Structures are given as C-alpha cells and as structure tokens.
C-alpha cells in the first residue's frame, strides 16, 4: 500500500490545529488518522494531537485474526476512549474547557476499510471513474441539507458552514460513526479536513486524485488548490493507494471479511 500526506496552516490562520498520522504495517494493517482541532488559545492544537496519539495507542490491540465486527468495535472504542481522555483533560483546566477536535480514522487492509469518524473531516473513495464520500458530516449545514432548508450549493457558502454538531472531547459521551467498505486494487482513499473539502469541489478532487501522477504530487496539488481558493482554514490531506491485490490475511479471508 502506498501512502502520502501533508498538512498546511493555510493563508489566514496563525496556528495549524490540524494533525495527521499514517502508520504502515500497523499490526498487519495501514492506519491513517486526520484530526481538526477547535477551541482557541492553542486548545484545538492540543486536542487534535491528543486524539491522534490516543487513537493510535488504543489501536495497538487490533490484530489480523479479528472479524469485521471486531475491527469496527475496536475503532469505535479507540475513538470513544480518546473522547473520554480529552474531555477529562479539558474539564480540569479552565483555559481548555470546550476544546475538541474532529477525527476520521481508517484501518485498511488490501481488500477492505474500517473507518470511524466524528465531525466534518471526511473520507472519500476514488474507484474507477468515480469518487464517493464515505462519511457523513456531523455539521449544522448537513442537518439543514437533510431537512431541505438549504441546498448543497448553499451549504458551501453558508456563514455557519464550519459549525459541527458532534466533536471529540466536547462532551462526556459521544456517538462514533463506524463503517465498513470494500475497496479494490487501484482504488485510492482520501482523508481530509474541511480546509480541503470546503474549498475544492468533489469533481476536481477526483480529477487530481485520478491523474497519472505519484501520490505525493496529488497531495501537494490538492493542498495547492485549497490555497489557491483562499486557504482560509488549516488544510490536511492523506491519500492511501491500494496497490496490493493480495490479501493480508491468507486463509479464512471470507470469515474475517464477514462474508462467510
């Protein structure tokens, strides 16, 4: 599996509160995480860094003998435990109260993905001639779209488009969305903060990712386009390319995929 990532403060913000981590050969998997912090007074920076480190630590228990449901529960539990720790930390220090972060974490094999997320950082899958958003934003504008009060086009310029309805660390308990999705040899997974997805249209995301260039070129191009569109927020991009069609698990794959 090939990977590349980059984070940039953008053109307006003085501090980069985004964080990203990519770990190849993570107990037989590839682990990728993006977190977009919030809270001011450097609290967002602390929240996103803590989330990355805590999720990584919890994911050390994941093994290749686990079923799909066990992996999904491991991802959910890792994010939930990170929420507990960040919330407790913030609650004990007045200057950090209310800090939080989005998080999207992907646990990848050569044939499937388990993705957990909170907030509006996104996961997209580029497969063949299409791009598909795998995660659903936990945001105010997404709720307005679902209830028919605004259109997706209006959401892109809505004054409250950065307001999230769910974040890691802001509440004692939080619901984590976890999905399982197959992917094929040649597919590419994009994880990003809204500093990218809020400025670059989905069609252009696809065109850049589908280009016959290496992954680092694609990451740099995506960040560059967000900067060209104003770079009003921190920008973080992670790409995972599924270049290995062979299973990481050997025998009994059907059972471990949940197909048996």
Domain housing 192? 2-247
Q: What is the CATH number of the domain that holds 198?
A: 3.60.40.10
Backbone angles phi, psi at 55, to 5 degrees: -65, -45
Q: Is 247's pLDDT higher than 50?
A: no
Q: What are the tokens at 89? A: 């930390």
Indicate whether 162 pLDDT > 80. Answer: no
Got the DSSP string for 89-154? HHHT-GGGTT-EEEEEEEEE-SSEEEEEEESS-EEEEEETTEEEE-S---BHHHHHHHTTSS-HHH
For 58, the enclosing helix (H) or strand (E) is: helix 43-58
Q: Let me know if residue 100 belongs to a domain.
A: yes
Residue 184 domain-assigned? Answer: yes
Q: Which of 247, 222, 218, 248 is nearest to 235 (CA)?
A: 222
> Is 256 domain-assigned?
no
Lowest mean pLDDT among 65-69, 114-118, 154-158, 171-175: 154-158
Contact by Cβ (8 Å): 193, 135: no
Question: What number of CA atoms fall less than 13 Å from residue 191's CA on the CB side?
Answer: 33
User: Using the 8-state DSSP alphabet, how is residue 60 labeled?
Assistant: G
Q: CA 188, CA 195: separation in Å to the nearest integer?
A: 20
Number of compact structural domains in the chain:
1
258 lies in a domain? no
180 assigned to some structural domain: yes
| Higher local confidence (pLDDT), 125 or 61 | 125
Say if residue 251's pLDDT is above 50: no
The lowest-confidence range among 11-25, 56-70, 148-162, 185-199 is 148-162
Measured distance CA(44)–CA(59) in Å, rounded: 22
The DSSP 8-state label assigned to residue 25 in this structure reads: E
The reply to whether 260 falls in a domain is no
| Model pLDDT for residues 187-231, shown as the tens digit of each residue | 999 999 999 999 999 999 999 999 999 999 999 999 999 999 999
Are 143 and 167 contacting, i.e. CB atoms less than 8 angstroms apart?
A: no
Rounded to the nearest 5 degrees, what angle is found at the Cα of 225, between the Cα atoms of 17 and 99? 15
List, in order, residues 6 or more apart from 209 with CB less than 8 Å away.
126, 131, 188, 190, 218, 222, 239
Model pTM score: 0.90
Asked if residue 91 belongs to a domain, the reply is yes
């Amino acid at each position: 599996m090939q990977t590349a990532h980059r984070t940039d403060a953008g053109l307006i913000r003085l501090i980069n509160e985004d964080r990203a981590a990519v770990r190849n050969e993570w107990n037989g998997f590839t682990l990728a995480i993006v977190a977009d912090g919030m809270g001011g007074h450097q609290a967002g920076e602390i929240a996103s860094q803590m989330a990355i480190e805590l999720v990584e630590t919890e994911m050390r228990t994941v093994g290749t003998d686990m079923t799909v449901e066990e992996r999904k529960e491991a991802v959910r539990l890792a994010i939930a435990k990170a929420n507990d720790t960040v919330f407790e930390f913030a609650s004990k220090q007045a200057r950090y109260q209310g800090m939080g972060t989005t998080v999207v974490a992907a646990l990848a094999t050569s044939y499937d993905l388990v993705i957990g997320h909170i907030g509006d950082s996104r996961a997209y899958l580029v497969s063949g001639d299409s791009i598909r958003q795998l995660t659903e934003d936990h945001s105010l504008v997404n709720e307005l779209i679902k209830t028919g009060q605004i259109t997706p086009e209006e959401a892109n310029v809505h004054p409250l488009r950065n307001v999230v309805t769910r974040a890691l660390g802001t509440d004692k308990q939080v619901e984590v969305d976890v999905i399982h999705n197959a992917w094929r040899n040649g597919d590419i997974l994009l994880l990003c903060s809204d500093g990218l997805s809020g400025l670059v249209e989905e069609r252009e995301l696809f065109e850049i990712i589908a280009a016959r260039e290496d992954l680092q070129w694609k990451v740099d191009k995506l960040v560059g386009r967000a900067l060209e569109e104003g770079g009003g927020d921190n920008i973080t991009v992670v790409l995972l390319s599924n270049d290995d069609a062979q299973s990481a698990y050997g025998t009994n794959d059907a059972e471990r995929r949940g197909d048996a």
